[in-house]
């Protein structure tokens, strides 16, 4: 054996200390954006059946949850509103007293330093459950832009730090940027859901957000999961229109796309670890089939290795706890 020449890679794995010294990617609490669902009413805290540990909060309980998230050191939340009233114009999406607008103000009262990101979309707010205006069964692109921009502006006026349009209408980043700038909100960044696939991984979220389409599907505006070159065109458009960060949704099955965006642009990249990715892990953990903590942290590290700067995940509170324990 002495005549054989080979590299001893295992030297750098020989102890926990050495492994920590040479580790290339790290997950930090500062990477996390925690999603929260807010509803009308009082004393509401209903667990979403397909997402154990994720709840609908009325504003009184939301206020308490903001404090828990803050105590864990999570720097940012993203708000999803579930309104009582829906209409064809999605009017509650941009109402001054809409549920998201009220939640922004509550969150800022509790923790002015918490970064409030808002999901900007129309699907929860109209009976069709689509992300744009519907006319004769068609989702109209250009007429939807005005309402989407109006929604983003209302969030900024309520105190949102970042707006994140998820609708996938063409031109919405330009419309939002123009509207924010015209109204003096030049410093409110836009996270674009630049690459959002028409994915089966959104099922539990639609239960949580009450946003299942009343007819058809979202394949005329969300992307075909088979395409990655198209993802570059989508991102290119959004960068030119003024996006400050780019999001890939879902994350787990699209790490190749995260990597391509990372290699092509130097904007911050956000990975959205979506509802079914969360639900599958929780279900397996409840059955004792996996080591939940190890699997979650391995997945998050995978997002970082693929090139994500930030991770939007329902596991945020779990991860913050793991990190506090020294994981």
Q: What pLDDT is recorded for position 269?
A: 98
Task: Specify the pTM.
Answer: 0.95
Q: What pLDDT is recorded for position 205?
A: 82
Average pLDDT along the chain: 95
Residues assigned a catalytic role = 196, 249
Segment holding 107, helix H or strand E: helix 99-110
Q: Using omega within 30 degrees of 0 as the cis cutoff, is the peptide bond preceding 117 cis?
A: no
* pLDDT 10s digits, 244-264: 999 999 999 999 999 999 999
- Residue 1's pLDDT band (boundaries 50, 70, 90)? low
Please tell me whether 193 is known to bind a ligand: no
Please tell me whether 234 is known to bind a ligand: yes
Average pLDDT, integer, range 52-72: 97
Please tell me whether 201 is known to bind a ligand: no
**Is domain 25-325 in CATH 2.40.280.10, yes or no?**
no
What residues are paired with 165 via a beta bridge?
Answer: 120
Nearest Cα neighbor of 153 from 174, 176, 121, 126 is 176
- Residue 2's pLDDT band (boundaries 50, 70, 90)? low
Kindly tell me the number of DSSP H helices and DSSP E strands found in the chain: 11, 12
Please tell me whether 89 is known to bind a ligand: no
Look-up of token digits 């994500």: 308
Kindly list the domain boundaries of the chain, sorted by start residue. Answer: 25-325
């Amino acid at each position: 054996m002495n005549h054989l020449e080979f590299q001893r890679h295992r030297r750098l794995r020989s102890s926990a200390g050495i492994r920590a010294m040479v580790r290339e990617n790290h997950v930090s609490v500062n990477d996390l954006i925690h999603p929260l669902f807010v509803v009308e009413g009082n004393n509401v805290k209903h667990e979403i059946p397909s997402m154990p540990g994720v709840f609908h909060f009325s504003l009184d309980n939301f206020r308490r949850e903001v404090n828990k998230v803050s105590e864990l050191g999570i720097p940012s939340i993203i708000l999803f509103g579930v309104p009582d009233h829906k209409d064809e114009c999605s009017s509650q999406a941009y109402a001054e007293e809409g549920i998201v607008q009220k939640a922004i103000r509550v969150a800022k009262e509790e923790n002015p330093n918490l970064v409030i990101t808002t999901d900007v979309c129309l699907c929860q707010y109209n009976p069709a459950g689509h992300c744009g205006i519907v006319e004769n069964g068609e989702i109209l692109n250009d007429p939807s832009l005005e309402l989407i921009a109006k929604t983003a502006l209302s969030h900024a006026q309520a105190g949102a730090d970042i707006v994140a349009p998820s609708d996938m209408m063409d031109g919405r980043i330009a419309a939002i940027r123009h509207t924010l700038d015209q109204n003096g909100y030049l410093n409110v960044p836009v996270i674009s859901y630049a690459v959002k696939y028409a994915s089966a991984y959104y099922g539990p979220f639609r239960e949580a957000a009450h946003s299942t389409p009343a007819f058809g599907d979202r394949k005329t505006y969300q992307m075909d999961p088979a395409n990655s070159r198209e993802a570059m065109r989508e991102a290119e458009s959004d960068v030119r229109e003024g996006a400050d960060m780019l999001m890939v949704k879902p994350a787990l099955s699209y790490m190749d796309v995260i990597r391509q965006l990372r290699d092509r642009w130097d904007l911050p990249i956000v990975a959205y670890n979506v509802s079914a990715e969360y639900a599958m892990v929780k279900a397996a953990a409840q059955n004792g089939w996996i080591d939940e903590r190890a699997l979650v942290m391995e997945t998050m590290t995978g997002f970082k290795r693929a090139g994500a700067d930030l991770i939007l995940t329902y596991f945020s509170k779990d991860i913050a706890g793991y990190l506090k324990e020294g994981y």
